[in-house]
């Protein structure tokens, strides 16, 4: 059956719209390229043997900072004085970290706040600054911020086409864990790394608060604690009330269930049977709670990494972000996928064109659920193809959680059967 005139006209309009969008996208990157001319220039020659004071630039999320504690420890252990720049919630994670000599709060919520951030970091000098983010999207504010740090050496991953980064480190490994990237940086500095485990530190008062909370629970025959985080930093990861209820019903037989998260979001869930709300003022309050727990169930990668720090039994929900060619032949769907690929290509070339032309690396989009996987042998990673997770079929969701719980239980029984040697 042939296309109707109306269908033909609609497809023609779609094609015209995508031609305009492609042109606008290319013009956007062309105009962004002008930014490169106002970035602070740096000499290509440098001497890494003279580096003593390092600034780690990690201007992103809490989970990323937790993974970076491995890098911070290894640099400090080898005699480097380590400073860190990041957003305030992420800096909270390293507030008590003995390997950190100082911090800078990165705030780009407004132009004034962002300029003040640059002024603050320019009051100090460093022998080396490293932007450790390896996201392939272009963050102009972060690039400019890095450019104006007072340091003769500025390192960054995949930044060969931005002259202010005179120490570009190529890294194209889409399926490798983030710790592989961190090890690459340490290799460049000739630092012999340990196993790159994460580590966290809290005050005695914070630890006591979590201990008192757990001791206040009515045991009622249950001694195990499950920490449940049903809402993440992104709405796409939020569980529905039906899914939350399903998890609680599966856990309730063997565990006290402690809900964590923003109070406004979790408040209505306290009516669920066997559920307790933990009142946390910051992410630091949650650290000892997870350390003292028996199981962690979470949609948020920050909590996943907290659990990894203590090698806790974990059930972690992830969304499959691997872009695949559309099966549909609908023009709108096909062109949308093409636009995604074009944008990715322009981002890569904007930052790393020289290296890409020279080495032709694998520019596959990084796989989020692999790069930021739990990195914990006691973790069960549940991967869903639906976005958001709340749209996942209820029966499938419950079956996956039940399967993970069985695997964890079987692992415990296997550990009990292993011989012990004294």
What is the full DSSP assignment across 23-91? HHHHHHHHHHGGGGGGSPP--S---GGG--EEEEE--S-HHHHHHHHHHHHHHHHTT-EEEEEE-HHHH
338 vs 65, 135, 194, 280, CA distance in Å? 33, 20, 42, 44
Provide the CATH topology of domain 39-188. Rossmann fold (3.40.50)
Peptide bond into 388 cis (omega under 30): yes
What residues form DSSP beta bridges with 83? 55, 102
Per DSSP (E only), the strands in 230-274 are: 255-259
Tokens 């972690």 belong to 316
Residue 139's Cβ-side half-sphere holds a number of Cα atoms within 13 Å equal to 16
- Which of 384, 381, 385 is CA-nearest to residue 408? 381
Give the DSSP letter of residue 365.
P
Under-70 pLDDT residues of the chain: 1-2, 219-221, 327, 412-422
In whole angstroms, give the CA distance from residue 181 to residue 131.
12
In whole angstroms, give the CA distance from residue 185 to residue 187.
5
In whole angstroms, give the CA distance from residue 356 to residue 367.
19
Options 3.30.70.270, 3.30.70.1140, 3.30.460.10, 3.40.50.2000; CATH for 204-322+369-417 is 3.40.50.2000
pLDDT digits (tens, 9 = 90+) for 156-199: 999 999 999 999 999 999 889 999 999 999 999 999 999 999 99
**What pLDDT does residue 270 have?**
74
In whole angstroms, give the CA distance from residue 406 to residue 333.
40
- Which of 225, 212, 247 is CA-nearest to residue 293? 225
Give the DSSP letter of residue 163.
T
**What pLDDT does residue 1 have?**
52
**What pLDDT does residue 52 have?**
97
**What pLDDT does residue 367 have?**
87
């Amino acid at each position: 059956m042939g296309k109707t005139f109306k269908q033909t006209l609609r497809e023609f309009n779609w094609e015209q719209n995508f031609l305009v969008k492609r042109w606008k996208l290319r013009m956007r990157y062309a105009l962004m390229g002008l930014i490169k001319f106002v970035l602070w220039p740096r000499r290509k020659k440098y001497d890494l043997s003279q580096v003593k004071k390092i600034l780690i630039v990690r201007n992103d999320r809490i989970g990323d900072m937790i993974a970076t504690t491995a890098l911070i420890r290894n640099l400090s252990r080898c005699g480097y004085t380590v400073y860190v720049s990041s957003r305030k919630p992420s800096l909270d994670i390293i507030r008590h970290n003995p390997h950190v000599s100082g911090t800078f709060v990165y705030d780009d919520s407004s132009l004034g706040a962002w300029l003040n951030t640059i002024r603050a970091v320019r009051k100090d000098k460093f022998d080396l600054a490293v932007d450790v983010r390896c996201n392939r999207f272009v963050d102009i504010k972060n690039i400019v911020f890095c450019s104006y740090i007072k340091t003769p050496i500025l390192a960054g991953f995949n930044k060969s086409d931005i002259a202010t980064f005179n120490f570009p480190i190529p890294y194209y490994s889409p399926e490798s864990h983030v710790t592989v990237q961190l090890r690459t940086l340490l290799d460049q500095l000739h630092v012999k790394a340990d196993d790159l485990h994460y580590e966290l530190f809290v005050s005695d008062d914070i630890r006591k608060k979590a201990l008192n909370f757990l001791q206040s629970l009515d045991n009622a025959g249950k001694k195990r604690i499950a920490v449940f985080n049903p809402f993440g930093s992104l709405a796409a990861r939020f569980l529905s009330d039906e899914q939350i209820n399903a998890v609680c019903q599966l856990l309730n037989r063997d565990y006290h269930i402690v809900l964590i998260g923003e109070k406004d979001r979790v408040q209505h869930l306290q009516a669920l049977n066997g559920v307790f709300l933990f009142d946390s003022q910051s992410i630091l309050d949650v650290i000892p709670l997870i350390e003292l727990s028996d199981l962690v169930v979470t949609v948020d990668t920050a909590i996943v990494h907290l659990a990894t720090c203590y090698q806790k039994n974990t059930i972690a929900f992830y969304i499959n972000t691997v872009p695949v060619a559309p099966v549909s032949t609908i023009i709108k769907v096909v062109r949308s996928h093409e636009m995604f690929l074009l944008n990715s290509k322009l981002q890569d070339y904007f930052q790393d064109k020289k290296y890409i032309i020279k080495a032709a690396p694998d520019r596959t989009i990084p796989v989020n659920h692999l790069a930021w996987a739990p990195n914990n042998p006691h973790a069960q990673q549940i991967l869903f193809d639906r976005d958001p997770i709340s749209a996942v079929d209820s029966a499938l969701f419950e079956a996956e959680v039940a399967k993970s719980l069985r695997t964890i239980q079987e692992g415990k029984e296997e550990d009990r059967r292993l011989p012990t040697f004294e």
